[in-house]
Amino acid sequence: MATKLGEKIRKCRTAKKMTLDELASAAKLSKSYLWELENRESQNPSSEKLQALADVLGADVSFFIDDAIDSPSESNKDKEFFRNYSKLDADNKEKLRQILEVLKKPE
């Protein structure tokens, strides 16, 4: 029987149209471990593993930890966006800032 955590991982993975293999590779985890997380009840992943999954799936770790949260909130998505932004090199950050300026202009 899957846990709430397993359901959330599967929901995010399928929303991104990722297979277990693809998620495992991207998060640097084994496919069998991910299968266990999605389908078994007794899995308690480390914070490092949860962070790796959150990074790949575009969610905040708090989404996976808090059973009261059913889907990532805008705040969680914003945090993930900023985390990804902070990993970009200076040139790509500048490009993204330029895109944002274009989007902010009134139509």
pLDDT digit string, tens, across residues 7-52? 999 999 999 999 999 999 999 999 999 999 999 886 789 999 999 9
**Degrees to nearest 5, angle at CA 94 with 92 and 98:** 115
pTM (global) more than 0.85: no
**Range of lowest pLDDT (26-30, 60-64, 88-92):** 60-64
Q: Are the CB atoms for 23 and 34 separated by under 8 Å?
A: yes
Q: Which long-range contacts (CB under 8 A, 24 or more apart) does 50-55 make?
A: 52/27, 52/28, 53/9, 53/23, 53/27, 53/29, 54/80, 55/27, 55/80, 55/83
Inform me whether the pLDDT recorded for 93 exceeds 90: yes
Chain centroid to CA 49: 11
In the block, tokens 């991910």 appear at: 34
Which pLDDT belongs to residue 41? Answer: 80
Q: What is the mean pLDDT of the chain?
A: 87
Of residues 105 and 21, more confidently modeled: 21
What does the pLDDT read at residue 2?
A: 65
81: its two tokens: 């966006």
Q: Give the pLDDT score at 40.
A: 87
Domains of the chain: 4-104 (1.10.260.40)
